[in-house]
Amino acid sequence: MLLLSAVSLLISFADLAFGQNDTINQIDKLNRKQGYWTKSYPNGKKAYEGRFKDDMPIGEFKRFREDGTLKVALNYNSTNNYSKATFYTSDGKVVAEGFYSEKNKDSLWQYYNANSTLVYEERYVKGVKHGRYKQYYENGKTMETIPYINGKIDGVMVQFHANGLNKAIVNFSNGQQDGSIKLFYDNGKVRIEGNYLNGLKNGEWKFYDADGKLTDKINYNKGIPENYNKLAERENKELELMFRNAGRIQEPTTESLLESVGARPY
């Protein structure tokens, strides 16, 4: 009786194994991928594995590096082509995570450095930035926060010094500076204040020293200074640099961060 049970169990395992192998990398009569799929690198290491139903990925998909380490896991919704993606370094640390709607970034995306500290986060709607972007210092304090609407900065951009005090407060409308701007010293004192109109400096701009004493004034008329001087030239270059880098990570960028760990999902 015991021998019969053992034989039956072996037959069951054999049938199961045969069934799995028999359905690997299958295409139906309509040329749609079905069931379990896997591919390997020339060195024999697995490149990816996952399951399809009617040519649509379902459940968990995994992609690997040529050395066999996991680089990204994609968990697909059973009803549509929406997935949760988690990217890994070669030593198994999470470097980025977020969602895809088909092949477009969607919802919240978060990125981490080599110490597993959150570096920045951004939000998308079908591949377009929409929502608040945040960048963080190593200690977890916010460095920068920027609101996006349909891919353009719209609202109040705020930057912070490492001590948590405001560094810059700038108003944007439809992707360009519009309204008041204030820059601050790391002691909290105002350094520069002025206004923009449709992306151009306009009206009176004031400059202060670190003790809060007014040191200079410049009047602008739609971007043209009435009393242009070296101070205006220096401040213009600083502001241009600040706005050029707004919402961008200098080291690393979003793409270089993923490429550095070989984590390209498509």
- The CA–CA distances, whole Å, from 176 to 78, 152, 243, 245 equal 41, 8, 9, 14
Secondary structure class of 189 (helix, strand, coil) = coil
Mean pLDDT by groups of 10 residues along the chain of 266 residues? 37 37 83 94 95 91 95 86 91 94 93 92 96 95 96 96 96 96 96 95 93 92 79 72 67 43 40
Number of domains in the chain: 2
**CATH (domain of 253):** 3.90.930
pLDDT of res. 6: 39
pLDDT digits (tens, 9 = 90+) for 70-97: 999 999 987 777 899 999 999 999 999 9
Q: How far is Cα 47 from Cα 173, in angstroms, rounded to an integer?
A: 46
pLDDT at residue number 232: 65
Predicted pLDDT at 241: 77
Q: Give the residue numbers spanning the domain of 125.
A: 105-266
> Containing H/E element for 20?
helix 2-22
Question: What pLDDT does residue 229 have?
Answer: 66
Cβ(161)–Cβ(139) under 8 Å?
no
Same domain? 39 vs 109: no
pLDDT for 231 equals: 65
Shared-domain flag, residues 112 and 91: no
Residue 72: per-residue pLDDT: 94
The last residue of a domain, from among 86, 102, 118: 102
Instruction: Please check whether residues 94 and 112 belong to one and the same domain.
Output: no
